Structures are given as structure tokens and as C-alpha cells.
Chain A
């Protein structure tokens, strides 16, 4: 995701927060298997 933003005209894209958004859902096991987490991303247009 960060690479897509960097290649798309954004300066210094970065992850600024993480969330365990699938905990307690029927997809929790799949999320843990593949390391799926919710994130906050900040990027500034160049």
C-alpha cells in the first residue's frame, strides 16, 4: 500500500496506527493466518 502511494505522487506515506478490527468476527482466524490488520495511513500530495 505504501509503495502504491509513493508511486502515485504522494510524499512520505506512512502507517500511523494499527487496529485489530477482525477480532471477534467470523474472519478472525483468516485475518490472523494472513496477518490482516486495520491501519491508519497518512500521505501528503507532492
Chain B
């Protein structure tokens, strides 16, 4: 990960803390966190289809921790290649795999090993053979140039200190005319420096 941030945030500490928090989300999603998790939250607050979520392995949906709904933005056509940046335990990834069908590909990228393990196991349990997962971070995607039709992501870009590099990576891997369907958090106010340096706020 390129180490860049508008304030002197300790990005190495941030990365370690993000990995620790989201490893816990993967393995112990019912623990206490300062953000919502799970399929009930996804359906009631973010507009996911409850029946679609119920059809996925509960080991996957229990660790869902998104902040919006990339699938509500536009349909994912059959046969297309979709990459989920920061796929976590795989809820959005497996929904994408169902939508693109056997002729398509759903590629999950995450930097947390526990999440990748859960996503791969979930794809197997769901009988989805068009899913692949890779370790990587948003500023260095392990994908070829112009190889993807749609980038999806949910609640990840806000965790990346070097956002311009992450966006440049999305542009690099997308085919011309491809699109980003991204959910993230937006901050209306300019944050004071002490808030920008607060690791606890970044990891939430």
C-alpha cells in the first residue's frame, strides 16, 4: 500500500488495526463492534433482498459489514466479469456471482486472510464455481489492465489512506466504458486533524 495521507496518520498502525478488526468480524461477527453487521441490517437498512441473503451461507452473511448497496445501483449482466474490492466474507461477491452466472466471473480481493478464507468457503457451500478470491489491497490489485466490466465495493474506500491510488487502480483494471458501483461513507463536514488521526474512527 502506498503510504499517503493528508495528515500524519500512522498508516502502518492503521493497516494492522483494520486487519485485526475485520479478522474479528470474519471469525466472531456477533462480538461488539461500532458498526452494524449481518443480513437483517443489510435488508432493513440498506435495501438488500432478504430472500437473496437467506439463500447464501449464514457464515458469509453474518460478517456482512457494508455501508450501502452496490447491487441497487445497476444490474450486473450475465457473462460479465465483476471484481469486489474488499470483498470481506463475500456477501456482495456471492450475490454478484449469482447475477453474472456461470459464464461470468466474480473476483474478490481482500487484504484480510480470515475474510478470504470465509468467502472462498462460502462460495463452495453455495455451489458457485465462478468465484475466485485473491489477497491484495485496493492500491495494488492483482488483476490485468482492462480486464473487468464492473468494480463493486462496499465500505472499503474510506479505510484506504491513499484514495487517489485506489481510484486509479479501479480505472486501470476496468475495460473502457466499464463502471464502478461503489458504496462508501461520505462526510459532509471538514474533519479536524485530531479526528483524521483517530484510528478508531478510521476503522469504523
Contact = CB atoms under 8 A, between A and B. Distances in A.
The SS class assigned to the B binding surface is mixed
Interface residues on A, range: 35 or more
Contact of A40 (B164, B178, B182): B182
Given A4-B167, A19-B46, A25-B35, A44 B177 contact: yes
B175 interface: yes
A16 B70 CA distance: 10
Contacts of B197: none
Contact of B168 (A8, A20, A35): A8
Contacts of A25: 34-36
B116 interface: no
Interface string B162-204: 0110011011001111111111111111010001000001001
Given A8-B171, A40-B70, A40-B73, A34 B164 contact: no
A37 B66 CA distance: 12
Contacts of A24: 36
B76 interface: no
Contacts of A15: 186
Nearest to B70: A40
Interface in B43-83: 45-46, 66-70, 72-74
Interface of B: 34-36, 45-46, 66-70, 72-74, 155, 157, 163-164, 167-168, 170-171, 174-189, 191, 195, 201, 204
Interface of A: 1, 4-5, 7-10, 13, 15-27, 30, 33-46
5 contacts: A1-B157, A10-B180, A17-B69, A25-B36, A34-B188
